[in-house]
């Protein structure tokens, strides 16, 4: 079942690249008592994700900060080493965006946002979306119909909806 506005996020663990290397982080720890933006992409370094989606949140980070957002998190079904490199390559890490790996697609599958695109070599990937989460509950969810589009899930699209 696909998540929707009003739902609480499931208990799930993602992986970030910390000072000592890969480390597990619970979504509940990141969202409890906080206002957080989570956006997901089909794959690090893929064209739309790299040239449109991540840059849209870098451009709009100050506007989210002004709306009281505590953290912006990018999730992708990749390993933490790729997410670290991608955060550095795009400037997302320097901008203060948290890059999290959903290496096994467990979180993505639990929220019903998984898809396969064999012709593109993408298996068990995440649909493109952006959501505002307040204290673990989704208050706004903008999901793209097509993973190649980045409009309502872009930083500007989510800002317009909140």
pLDDT digits (tens, 9 = 90+) for 30-55: 999 999 999 999 989 887 888 899 99
Q: In the predicted model, is pLDDT for residue 122 greater than 80?
A: no
* Mean pLDDT of all residues in 142-154: 91
Cβ atoms of 125 and 89 closer than 8 Å = no
Question: Which of 40, 49, 113, 138 is an active site residue?
Answer: 49
4 in any annotated domain: no
Q: Any catalytic annotation for residue 150?
A: no
Q: In the predicted model, is pLDDT for residue 147 greater than 90?
A: no
3 in any annotated domain: no
103 in any annotated domain: yes
**Which of 145, 67, 3 is closest to 12 using CA atoms?**
3
Whole-prediction pTM value? Answer: 0.94
Q: Which two tokens stand for residue 150?
A: 């980045």
Residues 81-116: pLDDT tens digits?
A: 999 999 999 999 999 999 999 999 999 999 999 877
Cβ atoms of 76 and 50 closer than 8 Å = no
- Domain at 37, CATH number: 3.40.30.10
Distance CA 111, CA 2 (A): 6
């Amino acid at each position: 079942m696909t998540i929707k506005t009003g739902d609480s996020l499931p208990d799930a663990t993602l992986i970030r690249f910390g000072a000592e290397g890969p480390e597990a982080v619970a979504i509940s720890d990141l969202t409890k008592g906080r206002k957080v933006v989570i956006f997901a992409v089909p794959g690090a370094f893929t064209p739309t994700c790299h040239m449109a989606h991540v840059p849209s949140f870098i451009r709009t980070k100050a506007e989210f900060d002004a709306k009281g957002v505590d953290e912006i998190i990018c999730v992708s079904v990749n390993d933490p080493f790729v997410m670290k490199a991608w955060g550095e390559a795009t400037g997302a890490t320097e901008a203060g965006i948290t890059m999290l790996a959903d290496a096994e697609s467990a979180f993505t599958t639990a929220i019903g946002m998984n898809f396969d695109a064999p012709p593109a070599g993408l298996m068990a990937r995440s649909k493109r979306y952006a959501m505002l989460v307040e204290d673990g509950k989704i208050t706004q969810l903008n999901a793209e119909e097509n993973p190649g589009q980045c409009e309502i899930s872009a930083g500007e699209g989510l800002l317009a909806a909140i």
